[in-house]
Structure 1
Amino acid sequence: MVLSSPTWRERFRAGTVIPAHPLALTEQRKLDERHQRALTRYYLAAGAGGVAVGVHTTQFEIRDPRIGLYEPVLALAAEELRASDAIRVAGVCGNTAQAAREAQIARDLKYHAALLNLVALADSSIAEVVAHVRAIGEIMPIIGFYLQPAVGGQYFPVEFWRAFAEIESVIGIKIAPFNRYATQDVLRGVAESGRSHEIALYTGNDDHIVLDLLSGYHFSGCDLQIRGGLLGHWSVWTSCAVELHRQVRQAVESGKLVDPKWLLRNAEVTDMNAALFDVGHHFHGCIAGINEVLRRQGLLAGRWCLNPAEDLSGGQAQELDRVIATYPHLVDDQFVKQNLDTWLS
């Protein structure tokens, strides 16, 4: 008997590594197609289970009509992914009309799900936000996104997450408030919705990645587990992230006591992320930090952002030097070096 391969939904629900795809630019701040393709190839070669394109790491400015890169960037990734079984997630944001347009573009390009950013509805009621989600969910499956306030997110109570999780088109939630109380609000809301078995939970908490994946949760008689990550942090050093995720899932599924080494590893990953995301300067250099690591590896030609004001903060380059030297086991420079010419060809 030949068993069929798991569907993308089954693989997504089981949990995987989904990097938030950066944007490759030339020095003139135009799309660098060669390096953009190389990045997607890198993520596939590293073993990522999918990619998320058109998200914060891809730079929200791609939606500016004067720039017009939303559809071209999604199309490039879709072309590179077409021969793979990678899960394709498209970032979707704006009011209902804009979000619907973006979701339609993503669906036409064969993306599987929309990571729905709700920043544009900051002043809306829970009922209005739920109506917005339902409207976009008629176009394609929805992954919720709890974005941290430091980069534009807002607070949502348990009542919202319960109502959100009850929507049939919702298949997952990226939990990224960088706040333990808010993280547990999401988990409790999902448990109370009665759909916890249908909704995949992914960490976006770059300050708590390992422990998010290791921890079990119990609300309303329901056991929950964060099984994967959809992370900007995992857009760099991705082959190491894939191995880290594999080992953590293996540890959880063994049912044994947690090895203290994972507590140390959590602290190490958090320290790396503090440098990468420029926590000391309120995340000002978060995109530039990611781009700088990729530039050093040769995966990007430079760390340029669409907004010229976005660059490394003072001392951030030195912090990157420090964490790279301190945690070589979490860096995949050699893997990239061995394959870079192939990805750039």
Structure 2
Amino acid sequence: MKLSEEIKELLFEGTVIPAHPLALDANRQLDEFHQRLLTRYYAASGAGGIAVGVHTTQFEIRDPEINLYEKVLSLAVSEVESIGLDRPFIKVAGVSGSTEQAVNEAKIARKLGYDIVLVSINGLKDWSEEDLLDRARQIGEHMPLFGFYLQTSVGGKVLTENFWKEFAEIPNVYAIKIAPFNRYQSIEVVRAVCNSSRCNDIAIYTGNDDNILNDLLTTYRINTERGIVDKDIVGGLLGHWAVWTEKAVKLLNHVKKVKLSGGQMNRDLLTKNIEVTDSNAAFFDTKNNFKGCIAGIHEVLRRQGLLKGIWCLDPNETLSVGQAEEIDRVYKDYPELNDDAFVKDHLEEWSQKIKASTLSVN
């Protein structure tokens, strides 16, 4: 399976792809209404796609006793179809686990109509790089690939520059999400892609929630055997962009205009980067080594009325002490970053459309 031309064009142009959270009720059961509401919010915000079944969706959806992977992926596709967008919209499915599991998940994603799979190595720290490459090649026989350098604090592992060069040579790789939260390792991935034979065939996306704006503003200038190669990080696939998404879309559009103008970068954008990073620190609970990162995203969405609560599949996964106050602080310090007014203006409209579409199906 290859990527369609319109989806490929959007992917390479660069867009906002939120990592889709999981909506649960007080009994920690799937809340289908709010799951659909989130999908509708992202589409209405102008996002260019969604990533479902990823870390923000909670890896536990794959556990046999929970068994929500296919259901959650299906709901997202169903809601996108119900919305009836008149523009391309990239549907990314996260695949995880052993080669057999990841291939099976890729087959599910293909059956449901997803465009590309994000290849996570969560839980595979003990695998060799060659085994991980072989796994990726097998997944790529079934779906286009979106590589993923996952930070070690949430289940990833350090990978060599040679790994990424070999990964880039896999024919069905179309994009790589850089998310090690480490500048040195991020540079290595870009350099590896630029030194591969498929440099122009791969879009680079940031997953570095701690450095979003700087990643998007930077043109990497890499010295290769073919000469100097310029490579941009064109968009983001981010847990941070699961909240305040409408403003994230505006921010990316502004960055694109700045880069196209060819002029000097406004120093205010560097200050804005720090503001976004500080907000992310509150959402992701960096003071406690990311313990409350998913609950923090849920808390913002709860405040906006997009979720009923902050429940996670793991009862121990909740806000850390002081995290709610940190979220209060960034709301106060950076009011221009939130999209609360946008959500408030449209929440009832989105809710009514979901109810109407659900009734018509039933």
> Which interval holds the TM-score relative to the shorter structure?
over 0.9
3-state SS of 1:201 partner: strand
State which drifts further: 129-138 or 115-124: 115-124
Partner of 2:99: 96
The structural deviation recorded for 1:132 is 0.7
3-state SS of 2:250 partner: helix
Partner of 2:156: 153
Q: Which runs of 5+ in 1 are unaligned?
A: none
Partner of 1:189: 192
Question: How do 1:115-264 and structure 2 match up within 5 A?
Answer: 115-219=118-222, 220=224, 221-264=228-271
Partner of 2:50: 51
**8 Å Cα contact 2:123-2:155 kept in structure 1:** no
Question: How do 1:251-290 and structure 2 match up within 5 A?
Answer: 251-290=258-297
TM-score, length-normalised on structure 2?
0.93
**8 Å Cα contact 1:37-1:344 kept in structure 2:** no
Distance 2:285 2:235 in 1: 24
Question: How do 1:30-49 and structure 2 match up within 5 A?
Answer: 30-49=29-48
Distance 1:124 1:331 in 2: 40
Distance 1:226 1:72 in 2: 32
3-state SS of 1:146 partner: strand
Partner of 2:358: none
Give the RMSD, CA atoms, in angstroms.
1.0
The structural deviation recorded for 1:122 is 2.2
Query: Does residue 1:61 correspond to 2:68, yes or no?
Result: no
After superposition, give the CA deviation of every residue in 1:271-308 in whole Å (9 maximum; x if it has no partner).
00000000000000000000000000000000000000
* Residue type of the alignment partner of 2:301: L
The structural deviation recorded for 1:120 is 3.7
Distance 1:81 1:34 in 2: 14
TM-score, length-normalised on structure 1?
0.97
Partner of 2:10: 11
Q: How many residues align?
A: 341
Q: Percent identity?
A: 56
Question: How do 1:288-327 and structure 2 match up within 5 A?
Answer: 288-327=295-334
The structural deviation recorded for 1:6 is 6.4
* Residue type of the alignment partner of 1:48: A
* Residue type of the alignment partner of 2:12: R
